[in-house]
Amino acid sequence: MKINKVKSVIVGVSTTGILIHHLITTFSIRLCTVNSGISLIGNTFGTVSYAIVLADVFAIAIVLLSFVYFHKSGFIIVFIGGLSNLVDRIFLGGVCDYLRIGALRYNINDVVIVIGIVFIIYEIIRENTQNS
């Protein structure tokens, strides 16, 4: 399987994951933890503010511009996850965290963002080894 097909599959799976996230959020909003702050470990940084939403928009713009400039599919995967978190923050006042491992709370969006970052690292390493 060519790498372009793999990239297409990963972007498709990420997008499907986001759609599933929004379905889960819609039907289980009472069961999830709405995280209105920035959670790195637990609920570290208090409640949501317009600065957080503005930072989200700025981060999404940087990721999108990076994708356009570098043509890396990992950036678009991170963009998809970040945009979905932004939508949750705008419409719910926070993100719906319904997955838990110990004290850590997260959602499918967070998983998609991590997958995107791993894919970016893979693409950078692959590109550097090809140029060597």
Instruction: Tell me the pLDDT tens digit for each residue of 62-115.
Output: 666 666 665 567 777 887 888 888 888 877 777 878 777 887 778 888 888 888
Taking 60 as the threshold, does the pLDDT of residue 39 lie above it? no
Count of structural domains within the chain: 1
Report pLDDT for 111.
Answer: 85
CB neighbour class for 109 (10 Å; exposed up to 12, middle 13-18, buried from 19):
buried
Q: Domain of 89?
A: 3-131
Report pLDDT for 116.
Answer: 85
Report pLDDT for 92.
Answer: 77
Report pLDDT for 86.
Answer: 81
- Of 83 and 8, which is predicted with more confidence? 83
**Of 9, 1, 17, whose CA–CA distance to 109 is shortest?**
17
What is the CB neighbour count within 10 angstroms for residue 24? 17
What is the overall mean pLDDT for the chain?
Answer: 71
